[in-house]
Amino acid sequence: MSPKGRPEGTSTPTRVSAEESPANLPAAPAAPAHVPLSAVLLVCGATLCFVLLDSMFKHLSQHLPIPLLVWARWTVQAVAVALWLVPQSGLRALVRTRKLTAQLFRGAVLIGSSLCFVSALKVMPLAEVTALNYTTPVLVTILAVVFLDERMTRMRVAFVVAGFAGMLLVVRPGGELFQGAALFALGSAWFYAMFQITTRKLADEDWRALLFYPALVGAVAMTVLLPFLDWRSPVTLQDGAMIVAAGLLGSLGHFLFQRAFQRAAASAITPFTYVQLVWSTLAGWIAFASFPDAWTLTGMAIITGSGLLIALHEQRKSRTAVAAQATVVD
């Protein structure tokens, strides 16, 4: 998602669970020459929250319906956001929009990303699912050409090719991971890329509405599905506590991102979001006794490199365009 005020053409690759990201926060003040340590720590804390959420959902998905988990995830966040923002701004600030159809579509594709992501988590190792979701910046680059009329330069083509090469090393057609679950992980990244593109088109909307609508759409849409779920096992008190905790972790992650983006420019923070790959690898190793092999680690490194280079390339282009415009004005 591209936080409000971020230069057009860049994207935050954070996967927060795939659906998490610094959802269109208030524009940050002018960034200092360095990135404040507090902003870095906030980003690291936010990505850790998202990995803990993912780990809980991976555990719960083994015996609970996936739509139930997605419903709980977004219902808890909708309630948390309402409790946080309504006393400050009133309910109208959360639901006021000039582009309702686009807001609903944005919420729908985010829910699609969540469903695909948790479906992949149920079967695949945590680190691999997270890595595949970090192909989102590559997909955003492609979608920006189609929907935002951006030009596919040779540098962008190179980054896209590198990103897909890294993805193939993680999935390895013919290997154990090349299965339906891998397609769910890639589907999640694709939906999330559409979410980011739609976010750019809504850049002039109130950040509070942009934060609230996806959670509201998820809560309502999943509530409609609840009566049709196959309840093979009851939700225990421990399960319920874990579900609520996961939802609160997601909300806390969003809040920490907000604070980070108030302290530094989005383009400066982007590289630090990749610490989520480190957290997910450690969490998979500690909680699920799963550690990526050498080929997967190589693919993860290539995906990380391509995403970072895309961000740096687009940041440089944006600065050049701003400088050129300032020269013309002067």
pLDDT by residue (tens digit) across 89-119?
Answer: 888 888 999 999 999 999 999 999 999 999 9
Q: What is the mean pLDDT of residues 119-125?
A: 90
**Mean of per-residue pLDDT scores for the chain:** 79
Domain boundaries, the chain: 37-231+243-329
149: alpha, beta or left? (left if phi > 0; alpha if psi -120 to 50): left
| pLDDT per position as a tens digit, 170-192 | 766 655 555 677 889 889 999 98
pLDDT at 165 > cutoff 50:
yes
The model scores a pTM over 0.85: no
When mean pLDDT is compared across 189-193, 209-213, 257-261, 294-298, the lowest value belongs to: 257-261
pLDDT winner (highest mean) among 115-119, 153-157, 201-205: 115-119
Transcribe 175-229 into DSSP letters. Answer: STT-SHHHHHHHHHHHHHHHHHHHHHHTTTS-HHHHHHHHHHHHHHHHHHHGGG-
pLDDT tier for residue 1 given thresholds of 50, 70 and 90? very low
More confident call, 271 vs 56: 56
pLDDT at 24 > cutoff 50:
no
pLDDT, position 191: 94
**Side-chain-facing half-sphere of 282: CA atoms under 13 Å:** 9
pLDDT tier for residue 139 given thresholds of 50, 70 and 90? confident
27: alpha, beta or left? (left if phi > 0; alpha if psi -120 to 50): beta
pLDDT tier for residue 28 given thresholds of 50, 70 and 90? very low
pLDDT, position 319: 65
pLDDT, position 29: 42
CA distance 262 to 26: 7
- Spell out where the chain has E strands: none
Residue 242's nearest CA partner among 50, 80, 114, 57 is 57
pLDDT at 6 > cutoff 60:
no
pLDDT winner (highest mean) among 39-48, 167-176, 264-273, 298-307: 39-48
pLDDT at 317 > cutoff 90:
no
| pLDDT per position as a tens digit, 38-91 | 888 998 999 999 999 999 999 999 999 999 999 998 998 899 889 988 998 888
Number of Cβ within a 10 Å radius of residue 237: 7
pLDDT, position 203: 81
Q: Do 308 and 274 form a contact (C-beta atoms < 8 A)?
A: yes
Residue 128's nearest CA partner among 138, 139, 117 is 117
Transcribe 132-150 into DSSP letters. Answer: HHTTHHHHHHHHHHHHS--
